[in-house]
Amino acid sequence: MPKLFEMPKFGEGIFTLELELEKTELSDPGRVKYAGRLLIPGDLPMPLLAFSRVSAAREGEEPIVSDDLILPIGVPKVGIEWEWWKPPRPVGSIPLGEFSGELNFEEVGEYEIHAEAYPTPLRMLPTLASTEILSFLVGKPGIRFLLDRPTVTPSTVVKPFTDITISCPVTSDCDKNYDITVKCIVYEGSFLPGHGAKLAEYTSVVRSVSPGQTINFDFPRRTITGTIDRRDIEVQVFIGEAKVKSSEWDDVYYVTTEVPTMIAVESLALS
Amino acid sequence: MVEPRIVMLVTKVPCNSITKKADQTLNVRVNYTYQGPAITGRLGAVVTQKTVYSEFDEIGSTRKEVYVNLPASETPVPSYTDITWLPLAGCEPKSGYGIKVYALDLDGKPEWGCLNVLTVTGVAIEPDLEITSLSVS
């Protein structure tokens, strides 16, 4: 009996994924549109839903992803092919699975972008196909900063109304000197992924940093009570208005929920 | 072996001096700063005298306490509370009395005071002879 259809196996290069970017670089942080398509063998008869993920990452960092892009691929067209000298046979063709979206580059840097297509939204099965890696530059080349976890003195477990200093180390891995400002944002922590309410934001003065140099940006703060004892900190580095680097750390310090009362008598007056 | 014990420290603060009769009462205005959540606390005042054992030996009959509503504040906020009508009847007429104030229902029992600010005089009628006229015969 002749085999009508060859069922594909995942990850064997049966599908082809293509990705095109609206631009090849950005002078400032911003959004870039992309469009892509999943090419499907013409004789694949099954209707297919696929899911794509486009990732853009700087070296050694978490990628920016377009996470929820779905590829509904059209219902296959099935028909009968008949040539007079051959017996009739069923044929199928499936439209191209197209997808589009945009990536939001909030920070300057050199990114590598690629796309993958998955048969399930949870990406538990091997990919159907993936693209080549594209290089994408936001801002000027040679700008790279490294951030370490902030430290808190005098203690990482303090009571409310305690004066602390948050030190944020910033290391330049750039190819020349840059004048930078650093923002330190304090959030309440959360039992869920991410952080809770924003509590405060501090901005440093402009400082010049040379290649390889590490500067500790210190931000004094008086702790306050919150709905939870954990505190998360985000550090952002700016060159002018352009954000060039940011990172966030969970549970950098804790503020006990026990609230102290402080009363101090200054003087007495008798009458 | 010396048995450990907690020694309460009295923080000395500025205070004016005053003289009162033993049948009068004493008013104490407490100027303070408060930082913390909104709570109701107590402020107390008591006349003290210096003894061999204590700089601030309390004269219990003079004690007065008042409730204070303290509003929530994340920074120290100045305020004052009047503790009035401390009876001085239990004080023997002499000088050198001190005043101690303390807070209750807060963290610990902080105390503040000052020495040698109160003189209590007696209430006995002193001989007061006034010659209004002389008559010669």
Q: What are the extents of the domains in chain A?
A: 16-138, 145-255
Residue window 42-101, chain B: list those with CB within 8 Å of chain A.
Answer: 70, 74-76, 78, 99, 101
Which one of 3.30.530.20, 3.30.70.100, 3.40.47.10, 2.60.40.10 gives the CATH number of domain A16-138? 2.60.40.10
**Are the beta carbons of B7 and B57 closer than 8 angstroms?**
no
Looking at residue A1, what is its pLDDT? Answer: 39
Domain at A145-255, CATH homologous superfamily: Immunoglobulins (2.60.40.10)
Residue A2, chain B, CB below 8 Å: the answer is: no
> What are the chain A neighbours of B29 within 8 Å (beta carbons)?
268-271
**Are the beta carbons of A232 and A188 closer than 8 angstroms?**
yes
**Are the beta carbons of A160 and A260 closer than 8 angstroms?**
yes
Residue window 233-262, chain A: list those with CB within 8 Å of chain B.
Answer: 259-262
> What are the chain B neighbours of A160 within 8 Å (beta carbons)?
74
**What is d(CA A40, CA A33) in angstroms, rounded to the nearest whole number?**
23
Nearest CA-CA partner of A17 in A111, A153, A143, A114: A114
Residue A243 pLDDT > 80: yes
Decide whether A16-138 matches A145-255 in CATH topology: yes
Instruction: Annotate A24-51 with three-state secondary structure.
Output: CEECCCEEEEEEEEEECCCCCCCCCEEE
Write the residue in A263, A267, A271 that is nearest to B110 by C-beta: A263
The residue of chain B with its CA nearest to that of A224 is B74
Instruction: Summarize pLDDT for A33-52 with one digit per residue, the tens.
Output: 988 877 766 555 455 677 88
Lowest mean pLDDT among A56-70, A187-201, A225-239, B58-72: A56-70
User: What would the two tokens of residue A13 be?
Assistant: 């290069």
Instruction: Summarize pLDDT for A187-217 with one digit per residue, the tens.
Output: 999 888 788 899 999 999 999 999 999 999 9
ipTM: 0.83
Instruction: Kindly list the structural domains of chain B, giving each domain's residue range(s) and its CATH number in brackets, ordered by start.
Output: 11-121 (2.60.40.1930)
Residue B126 pLDDT > 70: no
Nearest CA-CA partner of A246 in A230, A259, A234: A234
Tell if the CB–CB gap between B37 and A261 is shorter than 8 Å. yes
Residue with tokens 């290391």: A171
Instruction: Summarize pLDDT for A122-148 with one digit per residue, the tens.
Output: 777 778 888 888 889 988 888 889 999
**What is d(CA A234, CA A242) in angstroms, rounded to the nearest whole number?**
16
**What is d(CA B30, CA B113) in angstroms, rounded to the nearest whole number?**
11
